[in-house]
Structures are given as C-alpha cells and as structure tokens.
C-alpha cells in the first residue's frame, strides 16, 4: 500500500468523466487499498479515484462506520433534503453549504465485483452523492449555496472550542 497524491481544484483530471470498471485487476485492487490509506491519512470521509488521478468509477467512503468500497456505483433511490457543510480533500481548508438528498440508496460492486446495496441518511447520503459526483467530473464547489469559506471561520468550530473550555472548567 502507498499514499497517493491528492489532486486539487484546478487539476483538469477532476473535471473528467470516469470509465466503468469491467474487470477487477491486481492493479485496481492496489488502487483501492491506496485510496483507503490516502483517505484515512488525510482524515477524509470519502475519496474518489479521479482525486488520485485515475479516471475509473471507484469510490471509498468511511463516515465512521467502517470502509465502504464502491465500484461502478449508481444511485437508485433518493428522497428528502438536507442542507449542510461540505468539504473535499481536493479543496483543502475550505467548505461550503450544499443541498443534498437526506436519504440515498446506491447499488455498486464490491472489490470482488459482487453486487451490493448501500442505504444512507445524513452524512452517509451526503458522502455518497459527493463521491459519485466526482465520477462525473462534478466538483461540489459548483453546487455551493453562497460562497466557499475557510474552515477555520466555520461557526461550528468556535462552538466546539467553547464546549471544550467549559469541560476544562468543570
């Protein structure tokens, strides 16, 4: 396993459509392992193959419930709406408000090319939508309501700091 370099906004590879995986090869399995390692090292909740420069339909996601590897994923059902903060490892230090469905069901193949389904709400639904967009060459920055902001300026972080300070007092 090895860390791969994460491409950042402006790199044309991020705006290209990815090709379907027809056969799982040792090379693609290695890519999946490297993508997981790269995602965990960067403390992200998801990573798509084009973010490491490979135009294949593969994403990895972990919202804290274990790794999900999706090959040739497709959203087959979605409902509801959520609006919340979104970021991307290819847009370091920034975030923006994006509206997404609150529930998503997706079908994909696993690393052994066996079909499976994933259902998710909230963060998992958001992560699935975000990562699948990458496979179409769509960056979340094109879907932001309002402006991107620096993550350090986000109100949530200030609240967390206050809570930690309160804990220390007690």
Q: Give me the least distance between CB of 160 and Zn ion, in Å please.
A: 23
Distance from chain centroid for Cα 16: 16
d(CA 84, CA 126): 9
Binding stretches for Zn ion (CB under 5 A): 88
* Residue (70 or 88) nearer to Zn ion, CB: 88
Pick 40 or 114: Cβ nearer Zn ion = 40
Least distance in angstroms from the C-beta of 89 to Zn ion: 6
**In this structure, are residues 45 and 63 in contact, taking their beta carbons and an 8 Å threshold?**
yes
Smallest gap from residue 29 Cβ to Zn ion (A):
22
Among 81, 86, 117, 131, the active-site one is 131
131 is annotated as an active-site residue: yes
E-strand stretches of 11-67: 46-48, 58-61
- CB-side exposure of 10: number of CA atoms within 13 Å? 3
Closer residue to Zn ion in complex, CB, 88/124: 88
Listed residue (72, 70, 93, 105) closest to 141, CA to CA: 93
Give catalytic residue positions: 131
């Amino acid at each position: 396993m090895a860390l791969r370099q994460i491409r950042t906004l402006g790199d044309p590879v991020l705006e290209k459509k990815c090709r379907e995986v027809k056969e799982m090869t040792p090379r693609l399995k290695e890519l999946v392992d490297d993508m997981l390692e790269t995602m965990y090292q960067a403390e992200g909740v998801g990573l798509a193959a084009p973010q490491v420069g490979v135009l294949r339909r593969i994403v990895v996601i972990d919202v804290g419930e274990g790794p999900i590897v999706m090959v040739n994923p497709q959203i087959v059902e979605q409902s509801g709406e959520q609006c919340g903060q979104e970021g991307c490892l290819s847009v370091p230090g920034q975030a923006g408000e994006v509206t997404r469905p609150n529930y998503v069901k997706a079908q994909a193949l696993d690393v052994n090319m066996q079909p499976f389904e994933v259902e998710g709400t909230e963060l998992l639904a958001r992560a699935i939508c975000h990562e699948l967009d990458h496979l179409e060459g769509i960056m979340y920055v094109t879907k932001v309501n309002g402006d991107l902001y620096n993550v350090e300026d986000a109100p949530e972080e200030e609240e967390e700091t206050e809570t930690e300070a309160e804990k220390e007092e007690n």
